[in-house]
Structure 1
Amino acid sequence: MTVRTRFAPSPTGFLHIGGARTALFSWAYARKHGGSFILRIEDTDVARSTPEAVQAILDGMTWLGLSWDEGPFYQMQRMDRYKEVIQQLLDSGDAYYCYCSKEELDALREQQMQQGIKPRYDGRWRPEAGKVLPEPPAGVPPVVRFKNPQTGAVVWNDLVKGEIRISNEELDDLIIARADGTPTYNFCVVVDDWEMGITQVIRGDDHVNNTPRQINMLQALGAQIPQYAHLSMILGDDGQKLSKRHGAVSVMQYHEDGYLPEAVLNYLARLGWSHGDDEVFSMAQFCTWFDLDHITPSAAQFNTEKLNWLNAHYIKQADISSLAADIQQRLTALGVDTANGPDLAGVIALYRERSNTLNDLASSIAYFYRKPETDAAAAEKHLTVDVLPVLAGMAAKLENIAWTTESIHDVIQATVSDNGLKFPKIAMPLRVMVTGGAQSPSIDAVMALLGKDETLSRIRESLTTSGKF
């Protein structure tokens, strides 16, 4: 049997991080078994589905590199087929028309709740042997309900949660077509999974309650029942359900916040799944290792610190030219023009060991291309009246050297030795003058990249404006 998995998001918003993990696991399972991964857009919620949301899903999948083999298929383009299958169920007696008005159903629900009974449809329009149904009321368009079995149980071996058993007595007769004739979500899913030959349905555990209903409908259609794997939810760092208050939940927001897709994928792979103690691995390795047996049925907890650590790792390993293209865009968004500054790749190479995100990296190196704002506290601490004359003398010596990291270092070291100082006593104020702050890579390497004219200009300006010299 050829493995066929699917990812079937509803385009009512962005591709969230939980959906991305579901897509990743479905994609990896298909890749592991040489099967096909299908993308299906479940857009039957016309009121909430938007073209922008569809595009956000496609953008998120593309950015992550989760390429699909078939699709995207759109449920709204398959309405005629769903209606054919509904008619098939009506003809076979596995579905029926129900003429209950909204008021009747509301009253039934209220009555059941007052009696402490679980609210459910009571089957008043369900055809049974020997049962006489009332005449259909005039002017009331009917819904179509699936005639769910009333005895026995639906049992399946969930590939994550183990055996799940739901009594059919707990299930009422689900509406599969609304009064206007449009099919409902649960029914469309059944037809799609059947006709697309889906062999494994990997999805969030919020769908567990849908599964017994869908299995019963598949059986009524004589369809092959897929295997089901329901993934646990993702919790935030604080143990609460992941939401906007925890930061980015949209996949593309992670892109905007400066994360690499490799890092996000690697992190998502470890959310509820493990392969020994392996923390860092490629998607090729993941597809080789991945199975459903090692997915934990308990909720996974998001750890932003771990994601940042992984992202920093991938930034260090990334191709410099690819990084430069990305950082160029981020600097442009910050209003920074790199045209007249040092080679961007060289600056990135100097700084990428110090950055958790691409936004951090872009912000950290902006001073190479525009005058930095000086950190007042750092200036107060390091630009002291006793050290400024020493720095002025050092600047004069820097005027006359070949501008290399080694030559700059030699001048700084000579200044330190000649004045009986420790190296940080010169390096720290020099950092403040050149970069605006007290943190940077080796200051001689920074000055070499920044260039002689710009470096000396900043030192002179700082000496002039310090008010202490």
Structure 2
Amino acid sequence: MSQAITPVRTRIAPSPTGFLHLGTARTALFSWAYARHFGGEFVLRIEDTDVARSTQDSVDQIIASMNWLGLTYDEGPIYQMQRLDRYQAVVDSMLAAGTAYRCYCSPEELEEMREGQRARGEKTGYDGRWRPAPGKVLPPVPEGVAPVIRFMNPPEGDVTWDDLVKGPITINNREIDDLIIVRPDGVPTYNFCVVVDDWDMKISHVFRGDEHVNNTPWQINIFNALGAPLPKFGHFPVILGDDGLKLSKRRGAVSVTNYEEMGYLPEAMLNYLSRLGWSHGDDELYSREQLVAWFDGTHLNKSPAQWDPAKLEWVNSHYMKQADDAHLAGLVQAQLLKRGISAELPQLKAMAALFKDRCATTVALTDWLAMYFNDVNPSADDLATHVTDAVKPALATFADKLAGIEWNKASIAAAIKETIAAHGLKMPQLAMPVRALVCGRVQTPSVDAVLELFDKEIVIKRLRSA
């Protein structure tokens, strides 16, 4: 699929009934990357015809997630509920052309219909009782019943398309019935709106999850009934959780903004998401620019991808190491504010530079840096193991020496050497209790570098608490 239709226009069309799911985010990423690769356009459409469940909060969250990932769109957001007049005009034309018709079946009749089909061992579906046909006498129109409008699906033949991910797919028209395209309240349904939208917006390639495979025959038939050009379709397999079950809004942390709050970087999430269902040789780590250069629609996997939190952490830790220190400082500053801690960017920049190599997320980095602003609570085991009666005199000496020096790394290092020499200690015998008392943990970067970033009086106070 390296040669694309020109011009390429892709879209992402989430429903604003909740947060942006990771699976939808991956679809958005692939759609965006494909359009960017071919110099095309990417459209954001909000499919909000589920009026009862759609919310503005969800719309805001979807847009915020797209912005965080850097998936810039060329058009949108376009809202379906603002296009009702257009849908009505298309429905009217279909009714006039005989490709759609009104159906007055009540919900009770439809359930009775399905019960009878089940009893006879038949596939359940609409039996076409209101479908017009030459010589057919339709039931009398009941009074006071608002009809639905159904699409007159072709009764015979196959629907075939060459799926961009799965390859050729064929479904017989007898497997699908006459789809409802307008509800009794006059609001059109998903499968109808999406066709009109993709037609009007000149969408050339439709990428989506494979839960939509069964919708595609209806949509292709509606495209054909309207005389509209068909886009190419590609359906991605599901993403499985680390437990092997499908990721869902009800299971696990699957919101894009949730991962932002957990301290992941957008460039890492973009990199990791793109590897779930696509590959470029053995490359694991690559930039946004490389992704766009490589993503031509080939090498898409047909089998489900599995979400691996450990792999995501590994990818994120790589981007943490590469990140600009000032940028990380800004992210940590925001995290600290959530904890009620106010810190200045210049001091955070130096702290981020020192500790970022040890952290997989900005939350982990914030956990480290909080020791500079909040009291620490070393564990009883660390205190018992390292802050012994034998070393306490050396800690007192060290505190006294620190009180009289200029506060910089070189002077702190000199004070450490003088103290261990005076008390006949080895470096770890002093460094470990200093870390425990001052940092609240016994594993840190070089002690002199860590202490330099503290307020001098805080270090002395914590050492003298032994």
TM-score (norm 1): 0.95
1:283-298 residue pairs with structure 2 within 5 A? 283-298=288-303
Structure 1 counterpart of 2:234: 229
2:363 pairs with 356, 359, 381, which one? 359
- Find the residue that maps to 1:144 and give its secondary structure: strand
Aligned twin of 2:156: 151
Question: Runs of 5+ in structure 2 lacking a partner?
Answer: 1-5
Residue aligning to 1:373: 377
> Alignment length, in residue pairs?
461
Aligned match of 2:3 = none
Aligned counterpart in structure 2 of residue 402 of structure 1, from 406, 409, 429:
406
Report the Cα distance in structure 1 between the residues aligned to 2:343 and 2:155, rounded to whole angstroms: 71
8 Å CA contact 2:242–2:306 kept in 1: the answer is yes
Q: 1:277 aligns with which of 276, 282, 293?
A: 282
In the TM superposition, what are the counterparts of 1:40-59 in structure 2 within 5 Å?
A: 40-59=45-64
Q: Which moved more, 1:16-25 or 1:394-403?
A: 394-403
Alpha carbons of structure 1 residues 219 and 337: separation in structure 2 relative to 1, 3 Å: same
The one-letter amino acid of 1:85's match is: V
1:446 aligns with 2:436: no
Residue type of the alignment partner of 1:394: F
In structure 2, distance between residues paired with 1:403 and 1:50? 55
Contact 1:96 1:127 in 2 (8 A): yes
Query: What is the match of residue 466 of structure 1?
Result: none
Offset, 1:454: 2.3
Equivalent of residue 89 in structure 1, options 85, 90, 94: 94
Q: Does 1:426 align with 2:455?
A: no
- 1:184 is aligned to 2:219: no
Q: Which residue of 2 aligns with 1:127?
A: 132
Deviation (angstroms), 1:396: 2.4
- Tell me the equivalent position of 2:397: 393
Question: Where does the alignment leave 5 or more consecutive residues of structure 1 unmatched?
Answer: 464-469
Q: Choose 342-351 or 37-46, whichever is displaced more.
A: 342-351
CA contact (8 A) 1:342 1:450 kept: no
1:78 paired residue among 66, 83, 87 = 83
Alignment-mate amino acid for residue 235 of structure 2: H
Following superposition, the deviation at residue 313 of structure 1 comes to 1.2
3-state SS of paired residue (2:54): coil
Task: Tell me whether 1:213 sits opposite 2:218 in the alignment.
Answer: yes
Does structure 1 retain, via aligned residues, the 8 Å contact 2:394–2:420?
Answer: no
Task: Report deviation, 1:360.
Answer: 0.7
Q: Does 1:39 align with 2:44?
A: yes
SS in structure 2 opposite 1:145?
strand
The alignment yields a C-alpha RMSD, in angstroms, of: 1.5
Q: Give, in angstroms, the shift of residue 179 of structure 1.
A: 1.7
Note the C-alpha offset of 1:418: 4.2
> How far apart in 2 are the matches of 1:244 and 1:224?
34
Amino acid at match of 1:368: Y
User: Which deviates more, 113-122 or 44-53?
Assistant: 113-122
CA contact (8 A) 1:320 1:345 kept: yes
- The offset of 1:379, in angstroms, is 1.1
SS at 1:364 equivalent: helix
Q: Greater CA deviation, 192-201 or 382-391?
A: 382-391
Deviation at residue 344 of structure 1 after TM alignment: 1.4
Instruction: Report the AA paired with residue 316 of structure 1.
Output: K
Change (3 A) 1:420 1:342: farther
Deviation at 1:73, TM superposition (A): 0.6
User: Could you say if the C-alpha distance between residues 191 and 243 of structure 1 is closer, same or farther in structure 2, counting changes exceeding 3 Å?
Assistant: closer
Maintained 8 Å contact 2:21/2:249: no
For residue 450 of structure 1, give the secondary structure of its aligned residue in structure 2. coil
Counterparts of 2:448 and 2:251, CA distance in 1: 40
> 1:201-258 deviations in whole A, cap 9, x for unaligned?
0001010000000000000000001000001110111211114676421111111111
What amino acid is the match of 1:116? G
For 1:202, what is the secondary structure of its paired residue? strand
More displaced, 273-282 or 372-381? Answer: 372-381
Alpha carbons of structure 1 residues 305 and 105: separation in structure 2 relative to 1, 3 Å: same
**Superposed structure 1 runs of 4+ greater than 6 Å apart:** none
How far off its partner does 1:382 sit? 1.0
- Alignment of 1:248 with 2:248, yes or no, is no
- In the TM superposition, residue 386 of structure 1 has moved relative to its aligned partner by 1.0
CA drift at 1:12: 0.3
